[in-house]
Amino acid sequence: MNDQTKKQRIYSFELFPPKTAEGMEKLAGDVRRLNAVAPAYFSVTYGAGGSTRDRTFETVSLLRGQGIDSAPHLSCIGSTRGQIRDILRHYLEQDIHRIVALRGDLPSGMGAGAAGDLRYANELVAFIREETGRAFHIEVAAYPEVHPQASSATRDLENFKRKVDSGADAAITQYFYNADAYFAFVGACERAGIEIPIVPGVMPITNYSRLARFSDGCGAEIPRWMRKRLESYGDDIESIREFGHEAVLRLCRRLLDGGAPGIHFYTMNQATPTLRLWQELGLPGAERIRA
């Protein structure tokens, strides 16, 4: 297999910043439950163009309040160098030393003129290194099923390598449900001389219509057999959850058995689906999960 498991595996959780005070309060409870298994870190998404800047800061503060290490996401599209510099400074002042560096997507309706000073994530990685040296551990995004705007898989891989060559320490993939896509991508990266850990991103399935909408936009494929099964459950949420759980559990087992260097769980701010997977996979700390 590949070399991805040479070091200790990394398990992490992704959150998004809630829009309301009630959402933030609910998240505090889910974070407390998730933190029982002591993941390596929690990452917090960031709306492109700075649209969630303050809420991302607030979510990072919530984590700090519980003594948890966080990795805020930072996207460059729509921002100036000065704005990005201010955010980096803010995080260093908060003693945060891990960041997920992204390009982001311009919100629809914003013209190309709103693109900002840095066009691609590799430029953001280079800028973070220029400004802050090795102060941050930098993760970047990877796309085993190819980024939807890439002109070809080969070009996308070359562009991924640019991010690594600019100073990225590790990558987290877009979610996928086909383990072969991940292993083929990791193999291509190794042949291209890319040596950083490429941690698979895993999205638990709890709501089919939301997942289908999301997947169309980000280029993640839901295999036909899964779509057909999920569609056939209609509004039967319980069956969707059970089928989704079993499918994602099998995916995680294949990834870990095949040498993946960890798992990044897209929790969607819900503790239960991720903790159920964690428990059944027997990951470190599973015995501390309370029913």
Ligand X SMILES: Cc1cc2nc3c(=O)[nH]c(=O)nc-3n(C[C@H](O)[C@H](O)[C@H](O)COP(=O)(O)OP(=O)(O)OC[C@H]3O[C@@H](n4cnc5c(N)ncnc54)[C@H](O)[C@@H]3O)c2cc1C
Q: Which residues are catalytic?
A: 14
CB of 239 to ligand X, least distance (A): 29
CB of 171 to ligand X, least distance (A): 8
CA gap 77, 117 in Å, rounded: 8
- Residue 92 to residues 30, 35, 62, 85, 157, Cα–Cα distance (Å): 26, 23, 16, 11, 31
Q: Give the nearer residue to ligand X in terms of CB position, either 103 or 241.
A: 103
List, in order, residues 6 or more apart from 152 with CB less than 8 Å away.
Answer: 146
Contact residues for ligand X, defined by CB under 6 A: 45-48, 73, 75, 100, 102-105, 120-122, 141, 147, 149-150, 155-156, 159, 162-163, 172, 174, 201, 218
CB of 30 to ligand X, least distance (A): 18
Q: Give the nearer residue to ligand X in terms of CB position, either 212 or 218.
A: 218
CB of 225 to ligand X, least distance (A): 24
- Tokens coding 235: 């509004």
- Residue 242 to residues 9, 94, 117, 229, 250, Cα–Cα distance (Å): 27, 40, 46, 12, 12
Q: Using an 8 Å Cβ cutoff, are 211 and 241 in contact?
A: no
Q: Give the nearer residue to ligand X in terms of CB position, either 131 or 280.
A: 131
CB of 43 to ligand X, least distance (A): 7
Q: Using an 8 Å Cβ cutoff, are 99 and 71 in contact?
A: yes
Q: Give the nearer residue to ligand X in terms of CB position, either 14 or 30.
A: 14
Q: Which of 1, 9, 2, 7 is nearest to 281 (CA)?
A: 9
Residue 106's region, left for phi above 0, alpha for psi from -120 to 50, else beta, is beta
- At 137 the three-state DSSP class reads strand
Q: Give the nearer residue to ligand X in terms of CB position, either 155 or 250.
A: 155
